[in-house]
Every structure is written in C-alpha cells, then in structure tokens.
Amino acid sequence: MTSLSTGQDFQRYVPIVGDISAKNPLAYRATRGVVEVVNAVQMAVAESYINGLEVPDSVLRSLFNTCMPVIFKHFPSLLAPYEWVLGETDHLAEGSKELMKIQYDLPQGMLNRMIGDWKVIYPKYSMGLWEKGAVDLEQSQMHMIDDMIEKLEIQDGDNILDFGCGWGCVPNYILSKFPNVRFTGLNLSHEQCEYMRQKMQDPESYLSSGRFTLVEGDLNEVQFEEKFDKIVSVGVFCHVGNLTNAFKKLASFLKPEGKFFLHIITVRTPNNISSVFTHKYIFPHGRYWSFDTVPTFNKDFKTIDRWYLNGTNYHQTFEAWLKNFDDSYDEVKNLGYGIDPAKFRRIWRFYLIWLGSNFACCDGEINGNGQFLMVHNN
Ligand SMILES: C[S@@+](CC[C@H](N)C(=O)[O-])C[C@H]1O[C@@H](n2cnc3c(N)ncnc32)[C@H](O)[C@@H]1O
C-alpha cells in the first residue's frame, strides 16, 4: 500500500482528523458528534466569562493560544459548528436583519471609537495592513487601501461599486486620491448610512464631492441600472451564504471588461469555519470560507489572481480595537445595547480576544485574510 493511499484511508475512516469532506458516512457522523461536544465546551467557556467569571486576559489568551493551533492544524472539522458552515446555503446574504440588530446597527458611538475615526480614514471594520511598517491603526488602514488600489489597478475616472461599504472609509480614501473616480456604496446598516449621509453634507468630506452615491439596501434585493468598471467588497462575504449566486449577481453589475476585488476573512483549512459563540453573540450566520475553495464557486467569474494576507495583521488590528474598546468604555457604557452594559462589555471583550488570538495562531498562516481578483468568465 502506498503512503498516499494510507493517508487517504486515514482521512476516510478516522473521525475528526483532517478533511471532513473526505470521510465515509460513519466517520462523518462520528465527527459531527464530536463537534457537538466541542460546541458545548466552547459555549460553556464563553458564557462563564460573559456571565461574570473573573479570568485575567492572560489566562484566556493562553487557553486559546494552546488549543487553537492544534485544532487548526489537525482537527479543522471541529471548527465547523453547524452543517451549514460546510457548504453553501440558500440566501446570498444570510440573516441580514438579525445581523444588523446584533452587530452593525449597534450604537455607533461605541463602534466608531473602537475601530477608529479620523479625518480621511473613517471607521473601517476590516483588517489593517501592518506588515509594511504601519505605526498605528489609522496608517495600517491606509496601507490596506493603498494595497487594494494597486492590486485592482484603480484608474482615475473609474466608476466603482463598494458592496458593504461600512462607514464609507474605502470610498472616501480613494476619492481623496483620484479626482475623477466615482463611487456607489451599498450598505444595509441604517446607522452606518446615517453616518455617511452626514459626511455627504460635510464640505471637508470627499463623500460630499458629488462623486459618491449611497444606496441603503440589501444585497439580496438590490439592482443597479448602470454597470460598474470595478467592484470592491471588503470584509462582507463572511455574511454571504451562497458564493455562486453572489458572484452571479455581482457579475451582472460589472461591465464586460470590469474587475471584482473580493477581500475576506479566510482560513487555509479544508473546510469553512465558524463558532457557536460568534453565531449567537456577534455575527449570526457568519462563516469564514476556506481560501482554496473560493475560486471553485466561480461560474460567472474567473479568479485571475489571489493573495493570502497573514493573520498577524488582523491580530494587531484586533489588539488595537480591544485597547480602544477598553479605553472608551466609561464614555460609551450607557449608550444602550439592549442588555446589561457589563454583560455587553464581556461579550465584546471575549469576541475581541478570541478572534484576535485565532488570527495570531500558527504564525498567522492558517487564519488570515484572502483577496481574490476576478473578471467575467467568458
Ligand atoms: C465587516 S463590515 C465591513 C465594512 C467595510 N467594507 C469596511 O471595510 O470597513 C461589513 C459590512 O457589510 C454590510 N452588510 C452586511 N450584510 C449586508 C447585506 N446583506 N447587504 C448590504 N450590506 C451588508 C454591513 O452593514 C457592514 O457595513
């Protein structure tokens, strides 16, 4: 027997280890059974902390730093808490209303302070690029957008759609660099759209230049009359449940020679991942797509280039957000989160420490960000 077939047999018959999609039905079911146990343990740890168990950050961090590298490397199937995480589901964008309530329409005073709000760099809720020498969060976000401008080859005069534009940070920064670029920003978050509406009235903002159009709406329903030269989407596709249909829809918004730049949290494991904690408290129905499988969903697009960005960049970003969150907590604790502020604080601290640690583990080589440059598939 060759070592390859021994390896394949091992994957096929032995539960938990390696690639879950390679398992025979029995090993698959056994793996899913173990996942239930892992889910229960994870939720017990998270909810003990959320409900007031006093644990120093250093203990939480060392727990995550010890367990997660082993799980990421050898038992990635344990990170798929629900069946739906493993593949595509019906909706383009999943659970949008619940997601807005739990996450994006939270009091902006809290979110803006946590992720930072500067003159040109508006709150940007996605990874900063630190590896090119950024000295602070603002500069890391500038470097990240500069990186996108270069890879997408943005030209002055381009008409660009930003799908899931957040607070309008990417459009504002790019409009500041290119006097003839036009942007359309799509976002379902009413609160974030209100932020941009104010900026559209502010003469100091590039969103007021007449070159920015805001659409408050859901990717599931939105349609555009015009076709765009380029589309960008940063940090949004963890909320997309069906890549095939999302790509089909975005391809229909793009000119024949247009380009789509997708930037997402991703994992270099055989399966997609998520967590019971984030599903319940932070990003309902969110999942992190497996880096290698994203291009396999290309029917209407083809991927012409792709990049893996090391997770330590996101670890540093999360550390900066955690510090901002802690520093501003006294100012923002009474903004109204729909739950006891102390509990809210613990949920968010757990989230920031948990995800930040995951990005750092295995030297950032497994859980990082992926960028995919796509064109029409014809
Ligand atoms: C993680 S944030 C990233 C925002 C922005 N791209 C950035 O880098 O700062 C995800 C954004 O996607 C938006 N979003 C999520 N689901 C959406 C949907 N179904 N339709 C439109 N926007 C959506 C959220 O409101 C939020 O602004």
Does the Cβ of 259 fall within 6 Å of ligand 1? no
Stretch 198-218: mean pLDDT: 98
**Cβ of 130 less than 6 Å from ligand 1:** no
- Summarize pLDDT for 231-279 with one digit per residue, the tens: 999 999 999 999 999 999 999 999 999 999 999 999 999 999 999 999 9
Ligand 1 binding pocket includes 20 (Cβ within 6 Å): no
- State whether the beta carbon of 164 lies less than 6 angstroms from ligand 1: yes
**From CA 158, how far away is CA 173, in angstroms rounded?**
14
Span from the CA of 126 to the centroid of ligand 1 (angstroms): 10
Q: Which residues have CB under 8 Å from 31's CB, separation 6+?
A: 15, 16, 20, 23, 77, 78
Residue to probe by mutation, ligand 1, list 186, 187, 249, most atoms within 8 Å of CB: 187
Q: Which residue from 276, 268, 274 is spatially nearest to 294, judged by alpha carbons?
A: 268
DSSP-assigned letter for residue 216: E
The continuous run of DSSP H or E covering 214 comes out as: strand 212-216
CB 140 within 8 A of CB 313: yes
What tens digit of pLDDT does each residue of 36-55 get?
A: 999 999 999 999 999 999 99
Q: What pLDDT does residue 2 have?
A: 57
Confidence band, pLDDT 50/70/90 cuts, at residue 1: very low
Any ligand 1 atom below 6 A from CB of 129: no
Q: Going along 220-300, which residue ranges are E strands?
A: 228-234, 254-267, 289-290
Query: Looking at ligand 1, which atom is closest to the CA of residue 187?
Result: 22
Residue pair 309/155 in contact by the 8 Å Cβ criterion: no
Q: Tell how far the Cα of 95 is from the centroid of ligand 1, in angstroms.
A: 13
187 lines ligand 1 (CB under 6 A): yes
Centroid of ligand 1 to alpha carbon of 362 (angstroms)? 28
CB distance 169 to ligand 1 below 6 Å: yes
Report pLDDT digits (tens) over 316-332: 999 999 999 999 999 99
Compute the distance from residue 11 Cα to the ligand 1 centre, in Å.
37
The residue whose CA has the least distance to atom 20 of ligand 1 is 218
Length of the chain: 378
Catalogue the E-assigned strands of 243-352: 254-267, 289-290, 301-309
User: What's the gap in Å between 289 CA and the centre of ligand 1?
Assistant: 16
DSSP state of 100: I
Mean pLDDT of the chain: 96
Residue type, 30: A
Q: Which amino acid is at 14?
A: V
**153 close to 174: Cβ distance less than 8 angstroms:** no
pLDDT, one tens digit per residue, over 135-152 is 999 999 999 999 999 999
Q: Given the CA of residue 125, which atom of ligand 1 is nearest to it?
A: 9
- 209 Cβ contact list (under 8 Å, min separation 6): 175
Q: How far is the CA of 282 from the centre of ligand 1 (A)?
A: 14
CA atoms 329, 331, 337, 338: torsion sign: positive
Q: How far is the CA of 188 from the centre of ligand 1 (A)?
A: 7
Token pair belonging to 377? 């598939």
